[in-house]
Amino acid sequence: MADYLKYFSLQGKKAFVSGACGLIGREIAEALAQAGAVVVALDIDEAKGVPLEKSLPNGGSVIFRKFDITDLDHLKANIDSLVSEFGRIDIWVNSAYPRTADWGARVEDITVDSWRKNVDMQLNTYALSSKYAAELMKANGGSIINLGSTYGVVGGTFGIYEGTAISPVNMIYAAIKGGVVNMTRYLATYFGRYNVRVNSVCPGGVYDRHDKTFSNNYNKHVPLQRMAKPEEIACAVLYLASDAASYVTGEILMVDGGWTAA
């Protein structure tokens, strides 16, 4: 009989998580570390990143490195430096969420400059970091996971924002996450010959102290009738990072409580 739990072990793996100080990124770092990986937490926020090395409550090895994923001109060299320091990349997770100060503008108010900057900061960083990581994984294989979104596969549901101070989903965000989804599929087909798996996790709304009106509006559209917990997104990433998903690539895994099924 197969020992199925061993397939979820990441013992001996080197995992890199961009945006590791964020709501979801932190949970991903903890999940991969608990599974046995040496996790390199990448983020620009040193104030949160340095304590992260010591604050995981359930053990695991996490090492923080200040890393600006939006520095596209030096991105390849910076990733190469990580490999020089840590030896190899087995798992690369893109969960960073950089954005400009005018993020959330209405469609009518979006400027060309804002569009370009946000596409660079989010879509282009995910695409290029995935490409560079995949190239470095050619010899030994590996797993790349990109954080997408339900809004990368469906349009907006604007009624959930009525009566709240929360801005409706951004048009730029929808374009970026749609790009992440199909970029993931493309890289999966291109690098599959090297046993490099590329997948995307697409969360629905993740609860982060949202006001009650928004939560109630949102929950009415979800078959499970609630928003996601950050750890539920991390569990999906852990699965795709592990050998339990060794025959899964090009998958767009919806973790949305049934939002896109309804």
| Sign of torsion over alpha carbons 202, 9, 11, 189 | negative
Burial of 103: CB neighbours in 10 Å, binned 0-12, 13-18, 19+: middle
CA 208/CA 202 separation, integer angstroms: 17
Distances (CA, A) of 98 to 30, 47, 48: 21, 17, 16
SS3 65: strand
The pair of three-digit structure tokens given for residue 254, joined into one six-digit string: 């919806």
Q: Work out whether strand 252-255 and strand 61-66 pair parallel, antiparallel, or are unpaired.
A: unpaired
The 3-state DSSP composition of the chain as helix, strand, coil percent (nearest 5) reads 50, 15, 35
Q: Which residues are catalytic?
A: 173
Q: Tell me if 33 sits within 8 A of 39, measured CB to CB.
A: yes
Counted residue by residue, the chain has a size of 262
CA atoms within 13 A on the CB side of 89: 28
CA 88/CA 40 separation, integer angstroms: 11
| Of the candidates 106, 91, 99, 215, the residue with the CA atom closest to the CA atom of residue 156 | 106
Q: Specify whether the backbone of 196 is left (phi greater than 0), alpha (psi in -120 to 50) or beta.
A: beta
